[in-house]
Amino acid sequence: MNAQGDLNYLKEHPSINSFYRLEGKSSYCAEAHFRSFKELREFIEDLPLETEVHCNFVSEELKHEAQELP
């Protein structure tokens, strides 16, 4: 798969909630929801990317999206 195909895979994957390109880098940030760690592990193993993956886990939601910008 090519780089654009890799990005499309992530943008279209049903578990990806939000997907961002980080400024000044060829790095990306994705927010995803999985029902279990097993599902997350399988997702990471199946990624078509040849890059390192870093995971951070939300332990507590301190504030939910409260407003939209005008």
Task: Count other Cβ atoms within 10 Å, centred on residue 52.
Answer: 5
**pLDDT of 43-70, one tens digit each?**
988 887 777 788 888 888 888 777 776 6
Per-residue pLDDT at 1 exceeds 60: no
Residue 24: both structure tokens together: 């000044």
Residue 39: the pLDDT is 93
Residue 2: the pLDDT is 61
Residue 59: the pLDDT is 84
Per-residue pLDDT at 38 exceeds 90: yes
Is residue 66 helix, strand or coil?
coil
- The rounded distance, in Å, linking the Cα atoms of 35 and 69 is 31
Of 48, 55, 9, the closest CA to residue 32 belongs to: 55
Phi, psi values for residue 12, rounded to 5° = -100, -5
